[in-house]
Amino acid sequence: MSDDIEIPEVNYVSGSGVPIRGNDIDTDQIIPARFMKVVTFDGLGQFSFFDLRFDEDDNQKDHPFNEERYQDANVMVVNANFGCGSSREHAPQALMRWGIDAIIGESFAEIFAGNCLALGIPTVTADSETIEALQDWVDENPDGDIEVDIEAETVTYGETSVDVTVDDAQRKALVDGVWDTTALMKSNEEAIRDTAERLPYVEDGKRV
């Protein structure tokens, strides 16, 4: 791998939490479609959960992302089937730009989890009782530290440590630092070019 491009290993994430309660929160709720008409993902963070956070007159609704005590949180705790719906990559992009580094939940839509992995954001799972207990703890301890150990598959908060599940492929990609496929391709650009030169079906002049 080229020395110019280094993909960080993601073994561990820690920080305070923010509970987002409710099953089947889809990508349109995470980032409404009207905010996706952008050339880059920059600035998407402020629109996370926008329609759940504001009414038609832009008055704030009751939502954790609006609460002062959760403004510095970087570990989100969610329920079942989070990130379902359309496969827009803007959803995890918006959450990342809000400041989310890891998501703990009951379950995730497969494509959403894959899009999170492409950003180095682990999506770890646990049963509903474990998630509810963690959400309750975060409610009571908004400044409390949550430690997510991806390799060991544990989450620790307060005096409690619980086992969680990290998809095998996700865990390997994060721990080995191979989650950013675009960076991997760039770092191996010369090898890819050499391979393309040897392929009989790649025309001369078509190789980058």
Check pLDDT > 90 for residue 84. Answer: yes
What's the pTM value of the predicted model, to 2 decimals?
A: 0.83
Res. 8 pLDDT band, cuts 50 70 90: confident
pLDDT at 1 over 60: no
List, as own/partner pairs, every contact residues 134-139 make where C-beta atoms lie below 8 angstroms and the sequence separation is at least 24, other chains included: 134/17, 134/19, 134/77, 134/104, 134/162, 135/19, 135/21, 135/77, 138/16, 138/17, 138/18, 138/19, 138/77, 139/19
What are the tokens at 196?
């393309």
Tell me: the pLDDT tens digits for 19-74? 999 999 999 999 998 887 765 677 889 999 999 999 999 999 999 999 999 999 99
User: Coil, strand, or helix at residue 77?
Assistant: strand
pLDDT score at 183: 45
pLDDT higher than 80, residue 199: no
Report whether pLDDT(126) > 90: yes
User: What are the strands, taking DSSP E only, across the chain?
Assistant: 12-15, 17-20, 75-78, 102-105, 123-125, 146-149, 154-157, 160-163
**Domains located in the chain, CATH noted:** 12-177 (3.20.19.10), 179-208 (no CATH)
Burial of 43 (0-12, 13-18, 19+ CB in 10 A): exposed
**Alpha-carbon gap, residue 100 to 196, rounded angstroms:** 38
pLDDT in tens, 155-171: 999 999 999 999 999 99
For residue 158, report the phi and psi dihedrals to the nearest 5 degrees.
55, -125
Query: Whole-number mean pLDDT of the chain?
Result: 87
